[in-house]
Structure formats: C-alpha cells, structure tokens
Amino acid sequence: MHTIEDKAFLLLIVAVSLALAWIVWPFYGAVLWGTVTAILFAPLYRRLTKAMGQRRNLAALSTIVIIVAIVILPLTLMGVSLMQEASNVYGRMQTGELDLVRLFQQILDALPAWATNLLDRFGLVSLVAMQERVSDGLMKGSQFFAGQAFSIGLNTFDFIANLFVMLYLLFFLLRDEAALFARIKGAIPLRTEQKQALLLKFTVVIRATVKGDLLVALLQGALGGLIFWFLGIGAPLLWAVVMAFLSLLPVVGAGLVWLPVALYFLATGAVWQGLALTAYGTLVIGLVDNFLRPILVGKDTKMPDYFVLISTLGGLAAFGLNGFVLGPVIAAMFIAAWDIFSASRLEAHDDNNGR
C-alpha cells in the first residue's frame, strides 16, 4: 500500500512537471524540432564523434553547422521567396488581374453537354453560387497568406529566439544523447520490455515521418513546381509549396493541384500542355510516392493509410505545422500502447491457464 509520503511525492512530481510544461510551452515548437532534429541527425553526430577522436563538443557543433548549411539556411531563403510570391498573387487578385472565377467559367463553357448536365445535377454550374464560394475561399486563402507574411515580418524576433533555443537545445541533445536516453528510460515507470517497445516506436515514427514523408513531400513539391515553371504557370514556387504540403497527406497528395490545372488546359484547348502535365503528374510526381516512400519509410510504422491521413489532418488542425509530426507520433504511440497492453493481457491469460 502506498504511504501518504509516496502519494505526496507523486503529486509533487505531477505538479512540477505540469509547471515546467507551462513555462516551456511558448517554446514548444523549438523543443519539438530540436528533439526531432537530434533524432534524425544522431547517426551523423556519432560518425563525427568517432572521426574527431571522441570530442563530443566539437562533433555536436560540427553537426549543427552542417544542419544550418543544408537545412535551415535553404528553408529560410525559400520561405522569404515564398512570401514574396504569395504577396504578388494576393496583389493580382486584389486588382482583378487574376480572376479564377472567370477561369472557372471558361472551363464550364469548354465542357461537353453531358459533363455540364452531370455537374448541373450536383448544383455545380450555377455561376453566381460558385462565384460566391470560390471568391470567399480565395479571399480567405489569400488573406491567410498575406497575414502570415505580415506576421512573420512582425515576429522576426520570435522566430530568431525560437531558432536560437532549438539550436542551443540541439547541441546538448546531441552531445548528451546517451545520458539523456538512459535517464528518460530509467524514469519511465514501466517494465523494461514495455519501455523499449515504446521508445523504439517513438524513434521509428519520428524518423519515418520526417525523413520519409517530408523528403517525399519536398521532392514531389519540387517536381511539381518545375513542371509548372516549364509550362509557364504563374507562381510556380507557391504551387510547389502547396503540393509539398498536400503530399504530406496519404491518398490525396499533390494531385489536388496539378490535376485541376491539367483539366483546365484540356478544357481550354491547350491540349499538349494538359497531356504533358497529366503524364508528368502520373508517371513522375505520382510514382515518387510509390517508389521512394517504401524505401525511406518502410513498413516500420505499421499504420494504415487512413489512420495516417486522419492523424495528420487532426495534428495539423490542433497544432498547426508542428502537427504533421505530432499527429502521426501520437497515433503511433496510441497503437503501440494498446499493442503492449493486449500482449500483456494475453501473456497473463496464458500464465493463468498454465497453472
């Protein structure tokens, strides 16, 4: 039986843990990405440590310099270019130079009668109603991008502060990884095999989600932006980023962007552009997911596509951009915890029957 001292000490642990979480919460994104980056680049750090004669400080610092050079700096430059391009698109929509409602009407006019009748059954050919929906969606979307650009401009100090916290934390996570892992493992009040299973699942999902899903999304976005640039479609960088984000979602993917554009080309008489974009989207962009994702991710996550889709969307809705990592991680830990619980019950049942 627990003594009152044990209960009081447990209550103290919970209280100080919640207090620490409350204090650190403004920098939770920095802590999250510091942890994720440490997990991803731990193999590189270990190799540098061996090459540098076990000088852990120098190896950790060298790893951070490499991360800044190949990841953070390119992403920052791309983000600046993206915000400029988004602002230009927003300005064109405000002046009426870019009128997507008119483009929608052109597609409707070019469709055959049977297609128009089919759309009419679903109420999709009413230009007035569609104009209201499209205009409202486009205004909200453009205002969001413009607002994000303005917010980033105002919160430059916050961005720099979070980046500094992430890199500072990353240094110690890399340098002290063995000691930190041992302390965390020792503090978890579970059986040894349960702790090993949960920690292994956490590491696998982090690596699979970021290394696999993120790299596939970046490649699909880059390939989509390249074909958009080649075909002369406006704001190719913006569309590349949109396709990259959509590629994070299983099943739907970048086709939500390039397929409507291909249909627009076909409907407006630009046949070779439409056929080229369709072939490129199907054979190049689409097959990247089928070939690269199994290589980079494998079957380690053991989560069905529908569960990944729901957890990713839910994570994005709950945590913003950080949710594309947190959503699948929480879902994977949910599955792992219940698998361990089921295995424990089955083992206890077998032990009882064996008596």
Once rounded to an integer, what is the mean pLDDT over residues 165-175?
A: 92
> What's the pLDDT at 141?
54
Residue, of 189 and 249, whose pLDDT is higher = 189
Q: Which residues of 242-261 are buried (b: 16+ CB within 10 A; e: fewer)?
A: bbbbbbbbbeebbbebbeeb
> What's the pLDDT at 169?
93
| pLDDT band for position 62 (cuts 50, 70, 90) | very high
Q: Is 2 helix (H, G, I), strand (E, B) or coil?
A: coil
- Yes or no: say if 341 and 333 are a contact pair by the CB < 8 Å rule: no
Query: Which amino acid is residue 18, in one-letter code?
Result: L
Q: With 70 as the cut, is the pLDDT of residue 251 above it?
A: no
The token pair that represents 302 in the structure block? 């053991």
Query: Which amino acid is residue 208, in one-letter code?
Result: A
Sign of CA dihedral 209, 210, 215, 217: positive
The token pair that represents 183 in the structure block? 């302390």
- Yes or no: say if 333 and 202 are a contact pair by the CB < 8 Å rule: yes
Once rounded to an integer, what is the mean pLDDT over residues 38-50?
A: 90
Sole residue written with tokens 């953070």: 72
Once rounded to an integer, what is the mean pLDDT over residues 314-330?
A: 82
Dihedral pair phi/psi, residue 333, rounded to 5°: -65, -35
List the helix and strand counts (H, then E) for the chain: 17, 0
Question: In 10 A of CB 218, how many CB atoms?
Answer: 17
Sole residue written with tokens 């991803």: 40
Q: Is 270 helix (H, G, I), strand (E, B) or coil?
A: coil
> What's the pLDDT at 57?
92
Which residues lie closer than 8 Å to 11 by C-beta, 6 or more apart? none
> What's the pLDDT at 122?
56
pLDDT tens string 192-223: 777 777 777 777 777 777 777 777 888 888 88
> What's the pLDDT at 171?
93
Residue, of 22 and 108, whose pLDDT is higher = 22
DSSP class per residue in 210-225? IIIIIHHHHHHHHHHH
Query: What's this model's pTM, rounded to 2 decimal places?
Result: 0.67
pLDDT tens string 226-246: 998 888 887 788 888 888 877
